[in-house]
Structure 1
Amino acid sequence: MVALAPDHALIGLGANLGDAVGAVRSAAQALGHLPKTRLLACSPLYRSAPWQAEGPDFINAVAWLQTGLQPLELLEALQALELQHGRERPYPNAPRTLDLDLLMMGELQMNTPRLTLPHPRMHLRAFVLQPLQDLLPDVHIPGVVPTGAVGAWVSSTSGQAMARLT
């Protein structure tokens, strides 16, 4: 297993309204233009059926960043990008033009009313794990049992339909 560097972050990208492919691609590029931030890589895009959500299929990816932003600063920047892409939150798990989830920041573990790191359900979601495995197959997910490595969890999500686009 490999630890994520302290100044590295993983971002889950998703959209299922409008031009979802365009929104995810545009957001990935915009992540690299955030203050004190550099886009290191972005996974291929995947199409996935909504999981614990509704609406059309999602387009998903994971981006790997190097950033000097603090966790809450990065969260605020992600939410600002969502708003720029027309994100509305009429009810939980509503269809969305863009969803950006801060999955991990280094090995940081935190649990506050605004942010929990690592993302508490990332190891249950094929639409996170499969793109993440493309980027960093041996990355350690802190606080996840039994092994914490991405590859150990991908097979547990095999019932969640996904198709690689690019």
Structure 2
Amino acid sequence: MSVFKSSVTVTIYAIAIASNLDKIQNTQFALTALKQLGTCQISPIYEIPCRDGVGADYWNAACLVDSQIELNELLELLKTLEAQTGRKRPSHSISLDIDLIAFGQDLSAMQFNPKKMPLAVDVIIPLATLWHSKDLPKVAHQYKTIDALI
């Protein structure tokens, strides 16, 4: 009897998505691309005001993606997705902001991306619907959800 053990590593990636320019098109584009990576859980999409009050309201969402993609490949893909939507820096009109927030083999032992800390409210709200972690603060809010894409 042979026991066959897989050496394939699946990583859980917590990803934040935001757009305040061509929101339907760019959010759908990001979600479609992420679904190609593996099993994808998607939060509700929330409409949340721009952090500095200057730009248009954002659509904010989060995804948990179980994938075999390597970390560096994922980071490069996220930059590519932003570029493909015409992301300009700096700007208050953001076609797509898509960031890796955390990653790990198990939701109970995720490692946060230090470049994204501390987490903004517009990241916490959608992410907390998918990932119930003691490291995500509870945020009371009344932001509306967008049901068009999920």
Q: If the TM-score is normalised by the length of the shorter chain, which range does it land in?
A: 0.7 to 0.9
The RMSD of aligned alpha carbons is 2.3
Tell me the secondary structure at the aligned position of residue 41 of structure 2: strand
Residues in 2 aligned to 1:88 and 1:78: alpha-carbon distance in whole angstroms: 14
Partner residue of 1:120?
Answer: 117
Partner residue of 1:50?
Answer: 50
Residues in 2 aligned to 1:105 and 1:78: alpha-carbon distance in whole angstroms: 14
Tell me the secondary structure at the aligned position of residue 25 of structure 1: helix
Partner residue of 1:87?
Answer: 87
Tell me the secondary structure at the aligned position of residue 78 of structure 1: helix
Partner residue of 1:129?
Answer: 124
Runs of 5+ unmatched residues, structure 2: 1-8, 105-109
Q: Look at both structures and tell me which one has the larger radius of gyration over its CA atoms.
A: 2
Partner residue of 2:143?
Answer: 162
Residues in 2 aligned to 1:20 and 1:41: alpha-carbon distance in whole angstroms: 20
Report the alpha carbon displacement of residue 130 of structure 1 after superposing the two structures with TM: 1.6
The reply to whether residue 29 of structure 1 matches residue 13 of structure 2 is no
Residues in 1 aligned to 2:11 and 2:24: alpha-carbon distance in whole angstroms: 28
Runs of 5+ unmatched residues, structure 1: 140-146
Q: Deviations over 1:67-108 (max 9, x none)?
A: 22232221110010111111111x2x6321011011111123
Question: Normalising to structure 1: TM-score of the pair?
Answer: 0.70
- The 3 A distance-change label for structure 1 pair 100 and 110 is closer
Question: Normalising to structure 2: TM-score of the pair?
Answer: 0.77
Percentage identity across aligned positions? 25
Residues in 2 aligned to 1:85 and 1:23: alpha-carbon distance in whole angstroms: 7
